[in-house]
Amino acid sequence: MTEPPSPDVRPGAAPPRRARRLLLVHAHPDDESINNGVTMARYAAEGAHVTLVTCTLGERGEVIPPELAHLGGAALGEHRLGELTAAMRALGVDDFRLLGGPGRYADSGMMGLPDNDDPGCLWQADVDQAAGLLLDVVREVRPQVLVTYDPDGGYGHPDHIQAHRIAMRAAELAAAEGHPIAKVYWNRVPRSTAESAFARLREELPGLPFAEAAGVRDVPGVVDDERITTEIRGEGTAPAAKAAAMRAHATQIEVAGEFFALSNELAQPLFTTEYYELVRGERTGAGREDDLFAGIGETP
């Protein structure tokens, strides 16, 4: 079974059978906070059981702070696990795990680099085998909702693509066993929202600690508005929790107010409404859903 890295979650311990159970599958520490921080904070605060499975420790990530620039490889992975632990504390999530346990799959690096050929990296993993490890989590948690990337991984990173494949294959295997996941969502951003957010960013850029702005093309998962089926608005403490979780990933993210930058130092908006495309399951109503669990009964 996939073992959780946090000492607060006992390996093999069955989670409380809360009525709503959400599973998110991500490639590296920090992806969850950028893409789903508001969503995770909201559902955790509402008492849903939120489970995060991260596929690698991000050992090949580029480090932003100069004082941490010496970190690399296993040392960086260990440090990023600590960042992930702090981010989950900020979001109120206590069930987070590394696929197959810490170090089972290594970061594959960016597409086209020699790192992709490392036999221990996620890109080289057997999808059915990795999906079997995720299936163990599905059997334990019995999520009604799964969130992951689209087939391109949002922006073409090999680990994101592989995380998508593993998550979707695990959902297929779970359904074949008689434990179907009622709804599967992909992370998205509507094009009009991204364009308006970047227009505001360009106006505010002179007052930010970033020299340049990224562009809409740099945001993973941007699609035409009509493909968005669901939006989770940042309400209450969820936006602040998301920003705190992103700040916890200090090797990878610099946050400044409503904006942030990755190691490329290009500013982009910090979205406090998060968007999804329902790809499996029944959509409720004619407009956008405002709840990932819409249409799902509350019976455990």
Contact partners, residue 286, CB within 8 Å, separation at least 6 = none
Cα distance between residue 217 and residue 220, in whole Å: 8
- Flag whether 126 is marked binding: no
CA dihedral 233, 237, 239, 243 (to 10 degrees): -160
Helices (H), the chain: 31-45, 73-91, 127-141, 158-176, 191-204, 238-248
- Flag whether 160 is marked binding: yes
Nearest alpha carbon to residue 102 among 117, 86, 82, 116? 82
Note whether 6 and 96 are within 8 A (CB).
Answer: yes
Q: How many other CB atoms are found less than 10 A from the CB of residue 10?
A: 10
* DSSP-assigned letter for residue 105: S
Nearest alpha carbon to residue 200 among 281, 259, 286, 158? 259
Note whether 242 and 33 are within 8 A (CB).
Answer: yes
Cα distance between residue 256 and residue 209, in whole Å: 7
Annotated binding site for Zn(2+): 28, 31, 160
Summarize the annotated binding site as residue ranges.
28, 31, 160
